[in-house]
Amino acid sequence: MSKSKSQLRQDLVSGDWIVIAPGRAKRPYAIIKKTEPRIGTPKRNCPFEDLQKTGQGRPILSYGNNNDWQLQVIENKYPAFVHQDVCSVISKNGPFSVSGADGHHDLVITRAHDKTLADLTLNEAQQVFESFRDRYLMLLNDPCVAYISIFFNWGLKAGASVYHPHYQIVAIPVVPPDVQHSLNGSGRYFGENKQCVHCVMMDWELRHRKRVIYQNEGAAVFVPFVSKEPFEFRVFPKKHLPYFENTLDVDLDYVVEALQKSLKKMKKNLKDPDYNFFIHTAPIRDKEKYNHYHWHLEVIPKVTIRAGFELGTGVTINVVDPDEAADLLRK
């Protein structure tokens, strides 16, 4: 592809079209230079330094000694979804369908005030993901829950309201539209080709190696050929695994190691941008329907803003060629 010529590309899963327009940014470094230094919050003003003293409530899960905890899972003090003993039903408000926001909204908080996953030791990073899985398994039997979303916001541009690193686990009564979109595309591809669409993409990337950032024995990290955002990358377990909660320790450890290595590269080479990462996994109900799916992580550095064309059309313009993005990230 010419470095100045734009190209439309269609996502293999969703069918959505995106535009790769590298000529609009001149070179990838032009975007990186726009990032600003992050300003931390002093520990004395941090609500997550001493969770119980600041009224955060008793931990749902705690790792380490009570007086020297390393990680806690707590209920969000300001939840978007709240657990109910009786599940809400969908009703009508005029022509609109409405329901109670039943579910759970938890925080996973590490002890270190200014260490994200990239800065933790590998064992500490693995513990974060073990806590995700432990809490996930606790929520599986709630009849009001259809999907469990796990994500991390780092920095103001990524939506983090508190500086101290904290991850979120949100259990909700519906399958969210972006996930449903991915599930539908995966199911459609499997029906037509009898293959996992994510395995096909991962195998293609590993064979051609242009956009691979990192890989180990059990996980692969690459910049997608159809990237909606500059420098976005995805982390896949190499083994076909539809359900995050069923992932064995050995496979989860491979994924965590690959994610952490890639986040370190991103922090160094993109000058420590704000970012989001999230897990896409199959829903917790009707599991026999989703064996075609392949759970994974998506990492989105916040280096650009979607504007009128994107919002008005749903077609994203990515000003960094994925090949160049991968070349810069894997340094």
- Higher-confidence residue: 170 or 4? 170
- Answer yes or no: is pLDDT of 51 > 70: yes
The pLDDT tens digits of the residues spanning 177-221 come to 999 999 999 999 999 999 999 999 999 999 999 999 999 999 999
Q: Where in the chain is the domain with CATH 3.30.428.10?
A: 7-38+177-275+285-329, 43-172
pTM of the model: 0.94
Going by pLDDT thresholds of 50, 70 and 90, the confidence category of residue 1 is low
Contact between 164 and 46 under an 8 Å Cβ cutoff? The reply is: yes
Going by pLDDT thresholds of 50, 70 and 90, the confidence category of residue 24 is low
- Answer yes or no: is pLDDT of 159 > 80: yes
- Answer yes or no: is pLDDT of 304 > 80: yes
Q: How many helices (H) and strands (E) does the chain have?
A: 7, 15
In this prediction, residue 85 carries a pLDDT of: 87
Terminal alpha carbon distance of the chain? 22
- Tell which residue, 267, 270, 260, has the closest CA to residue 304: 270
- Higher-confidence residue: 263 or 64? 263
Q: Give CA 47 to chain center in angstroms.
A: 24
- Tell which residue, 105, 321, 122, 294, has the closest CA to residue 232: 321
- Higher-confidence residue: 71 or 24? 71
- Answer yes or no: is pLDDT of 74 > 90: yes
Contact between 154 and 300 under an 8 Å Cβ cutoff? The reply is: no
Going by pLDDT thresholds of 50, 70 and 90, the confidence category of residue 240 is very high
Can you tell me the distance from the alpha carbon of 121 to that of 100, in angstroms, rounded to the nearest whole number?
40
Can you tell me the distance from the alpha carbon of 40 to that of 207, in angstroms, rounded to the nearest whole number?
42
- Answer yes or no: is pLDDT of 30 > 80: no
The pLDDT tens digits of the residues spanning 290-303 come to 999 999 999 999 98
| Domain 43-172 in CATH 3.30.70.20 | no
Domain 7-38+177-275+285-329: CATH superfamily is HIT-like (3.30.428.10)
In this prediction, residue 273 carries a pLDDT of: 93
In this prediction, residue 66 carries a pLDDT of: 66
In this prediction, residue 22 carries a pLDDT of: 85
